[in-house]
Structure 1
Amino acid sequence: MTNIFYVEYDAAHNGNFIFDIPEGHDCWLLVITQTPAQFWVDGELKEYPAHSAVLYHPHQKIYYRACGERYINDWIRFETDESYVTETSLPFGVPFSLDDPDYCYKLFQLLVIENSFNNDYRESSVDCLLRTLFNKLLESYFHAEITPQHYNLLKLRAAIHNAPGNPWTVPGMAEIVRISPGYLQMIYKKAFGISCMDDVINSRIHLAKEYLIHGTHTVAEIAFRCGYRNVEHFCRQFKQVTGFTPRTFHKHTGSSFDSSAPKRQEASNR
């Protein structure tokens, strides 16, 4: 059972902000920073960057403060007997960087909304959101490395997956994140295990499958909607990724072909 005492996002304070609870709360406290801040860790004040998360267990000393003109965070104070919290592998009182702060921020927004409801589904909805949040925190904590460009890469990848039909090019993507094309290709592959153009191609083919399965568009119309200006090129690439031509795939919609088709791992940049 989980009970939220208070949850807030975009909590803003001036540069004099200090939060000091020597004996801690009698419940759990999770804080996620949007700006840099100083935390009391191992007997001294240490500065941590924005997008850091820190979890305090009940009765643990809590001390953190602003280290700039403004301090902003999201936080939740709650009690629970759920093992995903009480037996978590997360450190207590030691901040760590988030690998997807936007995702966690949206979860905080939903927690605020769900916690305001008073219905039979509130408890299960809140628990589901909190469980998801803790899963994301664990992913971040065990993330090998979060580079300065990591957050920009996440936004770029989300944009690709959301609109694969856009005219994506390596130079264009590099300009978005303000790095060189060569460096983009290197760090994108390292971050996500796939090259940026292969990610574009996979996203386009995934969208094309949706049109072929659920739509009534012609192959030429699908090619255009998925970012291809040449139907023959679309057909070749679709077959290279799935093992089938678009027409063959469409004819066998609902068969085992879609689930058993080989997945593309690498392709030359186009």
Structure 2
Amino acid sequence: MTQIHYVEHNRAHNGNFVIDVPEGYHWLLVITKTPAQFWVNGDIKEYPPYTTILYRPKQKVYYRACTDQFINDWIRFESDAPYITDSPLPFGHPFSLNDPNYCHKLFELLSIEHNFNRDYKKSSIDYLLKTLFNKLMESYFHGDISPQYYNLLKIRTMIQNNPGEDWTVSKMADYLRISPGYLQSIYKKTFGISCIDDVIDNRIRLAKEYLVHSNESIEEIASQCGYQNVEHFYRQFKHMTGKTPRGYQKHSS
């Protein structure tokens, strides 16, 4: 069973903000959006934005602002759920998030569920917390996060959500204010695929969906997926799938 005592998302405080609870209390999970200082192994250490820390019950809690403003998501709760009590996550040791926006959305949903009495409130909270802890484990075992990682993640999310845009290496590099060559290098190193191949993969993924589940013409689908030339769309689709768009459409119907 899990009981949330309080949850907030995007909570802002001034530069004097301090949380100091020497004997702890319940489970406490904190995700920062600004730099912050944490007490870790007897020392006060500064950590960058998008840091998370999980405190177990009765564990000393100390963290504070270290700039003019402190912004965080946090949740205090009780739980005997094994995915929490037996979690491999470290207690009282900060680590960086690899997808802070995703986690922030989960906090927003948790806050809504906690504040409204709905029929499936308990199960919804449990599912959201499970998902949140899954994302935390992904982050913890992700390894080191480069300074450009979060900007690269924003670009990749934009590509996935809008593959039909006129994506070019230069356009993406300008967004990050880095050189095209450096972008291509760090993008592939980070995600295991080049930025242009990522665009193509997402365009073909979207095209497959439209070919099977819409009544639009192949020319219209090609345009929506970012292809100004329908012959180019045909060539690229067949190269990626082994079928022409029309052949794929017939095979899948």
| TM range, smaller chain | over 0.9
Q: Distance in 2 between matches of 1:69 and 1:182?
A: 36
Could you tell me which residue of structure 2 aligns to residue 118 of structure 1? 117
Q: Distance in 2 between matches of 1:8 and 1:249?
A: 47
Q: Distance in 2 between matches of 1:34 and 1:139?
A: 19
Could you tell me which residue of structure 2 aligns to residue 264 of structure 1? none
Could you tell me which residue of structure 2 aligns to residue 82 of structure 1? 81
Q: Secondary structure at the match of 1:229?
A: coil
Q: Distance in 2 between matches of 1:217 and 1:226?
A: 12
Percentage of identical aligned residues = 65
Q: Secondary structure at the match of 1:19?
A: strand
Could you tell me which residue of structure 2 aligns to residue 185 of structure 1? 184
Q: Distance in 1 between matches of 2:155 and 2:114?
A: 32
Q: Deviations over 1:90-138 (max 9, x none)?
A: 1111111111111111110000011122133000000000110011111
Q: Does 1:176 align with 2:175?
A: yes
TM-score relative to the length of structure 1: 0.92
Q: Distance in 2 between matches of 1:190 and 1:178?
A: 18
Q: Deviations over 1:208-239 (max 9, x none)?
A: 11111011122111111111111111000000
Stretches (4+) displaced over 4 A: none
Could you tell me which residue of structure 2 aligns to residue 157 of structure 1? 156
Q: Deviations over 1:186-210 (max 9, x none)?
A: 1111111111101100111111111
Q: Does 1:98 align with 2:85?
A: no
Could you tell me which residue of structure 2 aligns to residue 222 of structure 1? 221
Q: Distance in 2 between matches of 1:133 and 1:110?
A: 11
One-letter amino acid of the structure 2 residue matched with residue 202 of structure 1: D
Could you tell me which residue of structure 2 aligns to residue 107 of structure 1? 106
What value does the CA root-mean-square deviation take over the aligned residues?
0.9
TM-score relative to the length of structure 2: 0.98
Q: Distance in 1 between matches of 2:107 and 2:85?
A: 20
Q: Distance in 2 between matches of 1:240 and 1:145?
A: 35
One-letter amino acid of the structure 2 residue matched with residue 157 of structure 1: R
Q: Distance in 2 between matches of 1:22 and 1:104?
A: 27
